[in-house]
Amino acid sequence: MVNSGFQIVPIGHVNVSREGFLIKIEKPYLDGLRGVEEFGHLIVLWWSHLCDNDLYRKELIGKQPYKNSPSEVGIFATRSPARPNPVSLTTVAVSSVDKVKGIVRIPYIDAEEGSPVIDIKPYHPSLDRIRDIGMPTWCNHWPKWHEDSATFDWEAEFINAQ
């Protein structure tokens, strides 16, 4: 493969405030919001800009991130933002869409304030939901559904939580 390089241009940014979470879409991309309001959920691809440095991009083995996980795990077996290309994804519920102002209101996203949004895709159960999956035993007790994650004690899963 020839590395000819490429460029990713953010289509918007994550905003976090006391009023909640939203994705602010840049003006040139507003037409891309047509029809988004009809979907209950979206897949948001965003850039983990706080982890975009040489040190994090070279990290391929992570120390035990979860209490029940192996002592080391490859970065591609984690959702860590520290990776060769700090691309993250989150499935979010859509609260409302203002196509004129370019605002997609969402109840939550695990991105930081100002995180660049690089793409948005509609969530389709026929493409994005899988019935029979394989999971390592150390995380097999995690919630089976996105909605159940809100009440799961995630802090108890992480080593550095306390």
| Residue-level pLDDT at 1 | 61
Q: What angle do CA 145, 71, 68 make, to 5 degrees?
A: 35
Token pair in block for residue 86: 């700090």
Q: Is the dihedral of CA 30, 34, 38, 40 positive or negative?
A: negative
Which residue in the block uniquely carries the two structure tokens 């605002």? 103
Are 12 and 92 spatial neighbours (Cβ–Cβ below 8 Å)? no
pLDDT at 159: 83
Domains of the chain in sequence order: 9-48+87-123 (2.40.30.70), 53-85 (no CATH)
pLDDT of residue 2: 72
pLDDT given for residue 29 in this prediction: 98
Kindly report the pTM of this predicted structure. 0.90
Average pLDDT, consecutive stretches of 10 residues, N- to C-terminus, the chain (162 residues) = 83 93 98 97 97 95 87 91 95 96 96 97 94 91 90 87 48
